[in-house]
Amino acid sequence: MMERNAVGSGRVRATTILCVRVGGEVAMAGDGQVTMGETIVKARSSKLRTMRDGRILAGFAGGVADALTLFEKFEAQLERHPRNLARAAVELAKEWRSDRYLRRLEAVLAVADRESSLMVAGTGEVIEPDDGILALGSGGPYALAAGRALARRTDLSAAEVARQALEIAAEICVYTNEEITVIELAASQAKGT
């Protein structure tokens, strides 16, 4: 869970992001809630985007301005390493950890292409899950557990697993709502054509 003190606003809590890889399909889901202290200040925020003409999915948990800065830095790394998501993520993590300004940014990124799903954090971590399912943010542990159970015990698509897992997380985590956005890799991208 990402938390920080914001001047005059109490604690700012993150969102919930889930990336699911099932049967060659890749989907990412995120809820829309933005909370400051004990108050919901926005219910329909989008924390997901596609990059590189839809070939990469990305989502964030944490500070919005911080995450947007990191998305820009990540896109610059993708320009340098256009066909290597892992290399771009590692280079971002190195830059994020070593740059005095970037070190202060409080966000976590999830990025995925047709080959891999990665979590990138400012402490230098670039983590690829063993089972292709990763989660970030306040409701991350709930979404991860639900996503794993659904992927193992159902024939749902990646997008359906992601949506239903986030719905379950929203039932448990007060910092996650049911205003869920789901993005997917295009079918031709998921199959590598």
Catalytic residues: 15
Q: For residue 143, what are the CA distances in angstroms to 62, 168, 187, 189?
A: 16, 7, 24, 25
| Furthest CA-CA distance within the chain | 50
DSSP for 53-82 reads TTTEEEEEEE-HHHHHHHHHHHHHHHHHST
Contact 6, 36 (CB under 8 A): yes
Q: Report the distance separating Cα 20 and Cα 26, nearest Å.
A: 6
The residue behind tokens 């995120």 is 30
Q: Report the distance separating Cα 133 and Cα 128, nearest Å.
A: 9
